[in-house]
Amino acid sequence: MKDINIFPSRVLMVVGILDLLRGFMHTFNIYWAVDFFAKLDLSVAKDAQLMLLAAFGISNYLTGFIFILISKKAKHLSIYMIALIVAAYALGTLAIRIVGLTRGPNAFNGMYFMMVYLLICFATLIKYAWDLKKAKKIL
């Protein structure tokens, strides 16, 4: 029988690589990321904004390496991690709306990258549920 954990573990590997890429953009390539993705106005609190962006990059490195490790060493946990990613995005979106931050006309381009990232995770959950349902019918 096919191992239904293989696809989620591969997706988590890709998501981990994407997080490493995000970490690189937020740290080593920070000025390009500010100009192209974040669209920050560095004329006000430049150092604070750059430090926050770089700190986020550090967390991207951490999650990227954790996701890759899980995808390689604990494939069965990959689907749970993907579900946690979706839940964290939902919680973050709720918090953003509660505190009154909305997507305005000057939305940063990184938002679209994050939406694709979330869509990949959500689609993986749906595919996993489908595969699980099929696997139970076979048994």
Higher per-residue confidence, 37 vs 125: 125
Look at residue 44 and tell me if it is in a domain.
yes
pLDDT level of residue 35 (50, 70, 90 thresholds): confident
User: Does the CA dihedral 70-74-75-76 come out positive or negative?
Assistant: negative
Look at residue 1 and tell me if it is in a domain.
no
Predicted pLDDT at 103: 62
Give this prediction's pTM.
0.87
Look at residue 116 and tell me if it is in a domain.
yes
User: Do 115 and 86 contact (CB within 8 A), yes or no?
Assistant: no
Look at residue 109 and tell me if it is in a domain.
yes
Predicted pLDDT at 111: 77
Look at residue 27 and tell me if it is in a domain.
yes
Predicted pLDDT at 57: 95
**Dihedral, CA of residue 127, residue 129, residue 133 and residue 135, to nearest 10:** 70
Q: How far apart are CA 56 and CA 2, in angstroms?
A: 38
User: pLDDT tens digit string along 117-131?
Assistant: 999 999 999 999 999
State the total domains in the chain.
Answer: 1
Look at residue 133 and tell me if it is in a domain.
yes
Predicted pLDDT at 107: 61
Q: How far apart are CA 23 and CA 14, in angstroms?
A: 14
User: Do 7 and 68 contact (CB within 8 A), yes or no?
Assistant: no
Look at residue 82 and tell me if it is in a domain.
yes
Domain span including residue 117 = 6-138
User: pLDDT tens digit string along 58-112?
Assistant: 999 999 999 999 999 999 999 999 999 999 999 998 998 899 876 665 566 777 8
